[in-house]
Amino acid sequence: MTFMMGPALLFCPADRPERFTKAAERADAVILDLEDAVSADAKVAARGAVIESGLDPARTIVRINELGGEHEASDLSTVLQTDYRTIMVAKAESAKKIGRLDRRLRVIALCETARGVEAAGKIAALENVVALMWGAEDLVASLGGTSSRKKNGRYREVARYARSRVLVAAGACAKAAIDAVHLDIPDLGGLGREARDAAASGFAATACIHPSQVAAIRGAYRPDAKTVAWARAVLAAAEAERGVFAFDGRMVDEPVLRHARAVLSRA
């Protein structure tokens, strides 16, 4: 079974089964969240809801609690009682622990602590890891900070560093990278700006926390008609050329052609 990555991945609390179908219908994939979105006293019921759900396994991720914690065994047992085989490991820090997981499971490692960001390269290199995601708020909390963003809504430098490091670590191992959620739900303009940057930088998807954010993400990842036309034209021109050539006054070499192919894949 091939997992469909994105571009819009919607978190849904696992203790709210009445929302599962709508979340799956509105987004490219749904993340059933057994971690932060579910209080300690509701985790048992949430696991039962995941087991009883019947979403498309190719478009469903289950976020489990951190490995080595009190919920690990129960969360993993829950997933293996379903047809879902893609899990997101919260607060991923240990390549050794992730590498020991059941080989039936594909792992999206959520690098959202200082240790997790530092270990991103080792984690991305694991055979059972299919993607990396980063998270801003837990990262800053792990550093003793109080906010991942400045007053103007832009990320602080430490968050930008973590974002870049996780993206490069994923790319170095030919794994997908997922951009962090935008917590200010009404700020669709800010979300669109960040998602456009994510798409241009090489992220495969952006996670979100509300259905209203899906359209902004999809629009940001979808190249406009002019860009698609350029990509098609430059690739067509390349078929008649050898090596480096000029197109519309711009030097074109293999990296530019790869950019064009990426545009068409997003289109």
Question: What are the structure tokens assigned to 132, written together?
Answer: 């990396």
Q: 143-182 burial string, b = 16+ CB within 10 Å, else e?
A: eeeeebbeeeeebeebbeebbebbbbbbbebebbbbbbbb
Report pLDDT for 154: 94
Where does the pLDDT of residue 23 fall: very low under 50, low under 70, confident under 90, or very high at 90 and above? very high
Which residue is it, tokens 């008609």? Answer: 225
Query: Is this model's pTM higher than 0.85 or not?
Result: yes
Contact criterion met (CB below 8 Å) for 10 and 206:
no
**What digits encode the pLDDT tens for the residues 218-245?**
999 998 888 888 889 888 888 888 788 8
Strands 245-247 and 250-252: antiparallel
Mean pLDDT of the chain: 94
Tell me how far apart the alpha carbons of residues 108 and 63 are, in angstroms, rounded to a whole number: 9
pLDDT above 60 for 3: no
pLDDT above 60 for 2: no
- The fold for domain 8-221 equals TIM Barrel (3.20.20)
pLDDT above 90 for 24: yes
Tell me how far apart the alpha carbons of residues 238 and 231 are, in angstroms, rounded to a whole number: 11
The residues spanned by each domain of the chain are 8-221, 225-266
Where does the pLDDT of residue 252 fall: very low under 50, low under 70, confident under 90, or very high at 90 and above? confident
Of 205, 209, 183, nearest in space to 195 by CA: 205
> Which one-letter amino acid corresponds to residue 49?
A
| 137 three-state secondary structure | helix
